[in-house]
């Protein structure tokens, strides 16, 4: 019996007494203790009747227990479905229904609210709180802490992560054991991670970056993490001296740069700062090097592929680029209409192929066929070019996706809700530059029948169906939306007009 992901990420640490997780209150959890917790959870899944291949959805605050649910799913052969803690009950209902999850674990404080939604599905509901309490934890107290891993090969499904499209509902990206393991091993190798590394981890673990990059890379290298519940500037500064590496989104770096305590002395022992999930401004690269002496390493990935490229650990880390394709990953620039490969220096659509590329979209064979070619190349939807030195530049997105604070936001979802408002005739949602979040959301609306839309009322109304980070930070009323001869709204003109509103 073998379980590819468990054998390579977790099994080798079973007897280790060294710290794996350093917690803000001073406690530590060793590798061995973490695996015992995961073993109890895996045995609890089995006692509850879950069988390999079934989905477990988790929407809880970041904690060691939440991470152990992931490890338990891996060894039990279950498919892990982490959900953003900001998702509303309506959003959660869709994910549970679409995935067919048999178990949904949520925070105790939201049990009543979410139970009403989940009762329409076949999922059972348990709770797990940030302090480790909850009905699921209570069930696990009586479980054995040793679990014999379920046999899973490289093609076995390990996780289901939902990523929205510009039209329609969210798509579930199917990630296999080999997708996750191959990427973790490659990144640990090229970024020179070892058992001596201590990662300052302030990212959420419902997202590829915090879970499948930060955590998996640390696990495969046998290192440890300073496991912070969220980004807190004081905690980041306080713990920096204990870390050797850090991964973050641009927001982390811009906020740290504005803190006078963040300087060369504080970061003198750090060996690596990695940024991703959203573009990092060239000015931030320059300011960071001037203040700390370190050059941030920027990389490029997405939910469907994990990481595709990285600036080099040894060699030039070029601001404004996302570096070179990872070993084993092929990347090409193609004509979006014909699929023809374009010459270096030419802007086109980025396509990637490699062991990191997902298996397809859950129960969406037509959408899978549209975006995953028969030869294995995935059409990312991002626009870019490869320069004369092989570095990849991201210049835009073929779709209108907005990336704010590392989170993907899809305009169509917000537009549909705005258009339902009685005082709004139509809307267009765009992303504009923001110094802290990279981009932020602006809603351009046309009033219905000469009415005067009440912005506060509109925001309250749509917030019932949208996570807070998706809400427009500004609403603007215009007489009409700019359109081309085919009637399509020209969002490029809108982005140009409002690009300086937050800068």
The dotted CATH code for 402-498 is: 3.30.300.30
Q: How many percent of the chain have pLDDT more than 90?
A: 81
**How much is the pLDDT for 168?**
53
CA distance 249 to 202: 10
For the chain, percent of residues with pLDDT exceeding 70: 97
Instruction: Find tokens 């001037």 and name the residue.
Output: 290
Helices (H) and strands (E) in the chain, counts: 17, 25
Residue with tokens 């679990």: 147
Integer Cα distance of 31 and 220 in angstroms: 12
For residues 186 and 357, what is the distance between their CA atoms, to the nearest angstrom? 14
Q: Could you read off the pLDDT of 62-98 as tens digits, one per residue?
A: 999 999 999 999 999 999 999 999 899 999 999 999 9
Q: Tell me 213's DSSP state.
A: I
Q: What is the pTM of this model?
A: 0.85
Query: What does each C-alpha distance from 478 to 128, 189, 269, 446 come to in angstroms?
Result: 46, 52, 53, 5
What are the angstrom distances between the C-alpha of 435 and each of 18, 405, 475? 40, 10, 19
Mean pLDDT, range 231-256, rounded to an integer = 94
- Give the pLDDT band of residue 410 (cuts 50, 70, 90): confident
Tell me if 150 sits within 8 A of 171, measured CB to CB: no
Most confident of 113-117, 126-130, 482-486: 126-130
Pull the structure tokens for residue 119: 């009762």
Residue 260: DSSP 8-state: T
**Gap between the Cα atoms of 107 and 130, Å rounded:** 8
Q: Does CATH place domain 1-152 in 3.40.50.12780?
A: yes
Question: What H or E segment, with its residue span, contains residue 445?
Answer: strand 438-447
* CA 124 to each of CA 49, 51, 363, 382: distance values in angstroms, whole numbers, following the listed order: 11, 14, 22, 38
The whole-chain average pLDDT of the chain stands at 93
pLDDT of residue 197: 97
Distance separating alpha carbons of residues 372 and 378, to the nearest angstrom: 5
Confidence of residue 250 (pLDDT cuts 50, 70, 90): confident
Distance of CA 301 to the CA centre of its chain: 10
pLDDT of residue 304: 96
Measured between alpha carbons, how far is 123 from 144 in angstroms, rounded to an integer? 24
pLDDT above 80 for 459: yes
Residue with tokens 């069930």: 139
User: How far is 391 from 57, CA to CA, in rounded Å?
Assistant: 38
Within 8 A by CB and 6+ apart from 31, the residues are 13, 14, 16, 17, 18, 20, 222
pLDDT tops 80 at residue 58: yes
**Crossing angle between the packed helical segments 282-292 and 250-257, to the nearest 10 degrees:** 50
**What pLDDT digit, counting tens, does each position of 6-17 carry?**
999 998 887 788
Tell me the mean pLDDT in the region 132-136. Answer: 97
**DSSP at 343:** P
Residue 246, CB-side half-sphere exposure with 13 Å CA sphere: 24
Per-residue pLDDT reduced to its tens digit, 469-481: 999 999 999 999 9
Return d(Cα 281, Cα 278) in angstroms, integer: 10
User: Residue 75 has which token pair?
Assistant: 């060894």
* Domains of the chain, residue spans: 1-152, 402-498
- Please check whether residue 271 is in contact with residue 321, taking contact to mean a CB–CB distance below 8 angstroms: no
């Amino acid at each position: 019996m073998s379980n590819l992901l468990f054998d390579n990420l977790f099994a080798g640490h079973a007897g280790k007494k060294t710290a794996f997780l350093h917690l803000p209150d001073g406690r530590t959890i060793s590798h061995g203790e973490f695996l015992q917790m995961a073993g109890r959870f895996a045995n609890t899944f089995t006692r509850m009747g879950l069988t390999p291949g079934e989905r477990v959805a988790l929407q809880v605050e970041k904690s060691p227990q939440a991470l152990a649910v992931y490890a338990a799913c891996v060894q039990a052969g279950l498919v892990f479905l982490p959900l953003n803690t900001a998702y509303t009950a309506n959003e959660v209902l869709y994910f549970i229904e679409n995935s067919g999850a048999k178990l949904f674990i949520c925070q105790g404080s939201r049990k009543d609210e979410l139970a009403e939604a989940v009762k329409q599905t076949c999922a059972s509901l348990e709770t797990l709180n940030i302090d480790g309490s909850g009905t699921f934890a209570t069930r696990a107290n009586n479980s054995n802490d040793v679990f014999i891993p379920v046999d899973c090969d490289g093609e076995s499904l390990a996780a289901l992560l939902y990523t929205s499209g510009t039209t329609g509902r969210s798509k579930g990206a199917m990630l296999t054991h080999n997708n996750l393991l191959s990427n973790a091993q490659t990144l640990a190798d090229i970024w020179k991670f070892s058992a001596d590394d201590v990662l300052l981890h302030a990212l959420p673990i419902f997202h590829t970056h915090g879970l499948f990059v930060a955590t998996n890379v640390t696990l495969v290298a046998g290192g440890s993490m300073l496991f912070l519940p969220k980004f807190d500037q004081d905690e980041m500064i306080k713990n920096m001296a204990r870390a050797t590496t850090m991964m973050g989104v641009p927001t982390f770096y811009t906020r740290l740069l504005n803190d006078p305590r963040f300087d060369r002395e504080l970061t003198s022992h750090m060996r690596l700062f990695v940024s991703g999930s959203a573009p990092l401004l060239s000015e931030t690269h320059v300011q960071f090097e001037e203040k700390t002496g370190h050059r941030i390493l920027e990389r490029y990935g997405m939910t469907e592929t994990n990481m595709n490229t990285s600036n080099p650990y040894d060699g030039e880390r070029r601001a404004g680029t996302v570096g070179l394709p990872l070993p084993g990953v092929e990347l090409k620039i193609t004509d979006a209409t014909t699929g023809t490969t374009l010459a270096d220096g030419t802007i086109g659509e980025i396509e990637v192929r490699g062991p990191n590329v997902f298996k397809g979209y859950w129960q969406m064979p037509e959408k899978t066929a549209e975006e995953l070619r028969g030869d294995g190349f995935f059409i990312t939807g991002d626009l870019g070019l490869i320069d004369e030195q092989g570095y990849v530049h991201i210049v835009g997105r073929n779709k209108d996706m907005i990336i704010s604070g590392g989170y993907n936001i899809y305009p169509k979802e917000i537009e549909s809700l705005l258009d339902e408002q009685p005082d709004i005739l139509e809307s267009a949602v765009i992303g504009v530059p923001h110094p802290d979040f990279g981009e932020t959301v602006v809603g351009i609306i046309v009033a219905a029948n000469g009415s005067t839309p009440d912005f506060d009322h509109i925001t309250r109304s749509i917030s019932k169906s949208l996570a807070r980070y998706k809400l427009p930070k500004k609403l603007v009323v215009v007489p009409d939306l700019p359109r081309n001869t085919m009637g399509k709204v020209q969002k490029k003109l809108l982005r140009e007009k409002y690009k300086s509103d937050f800068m």
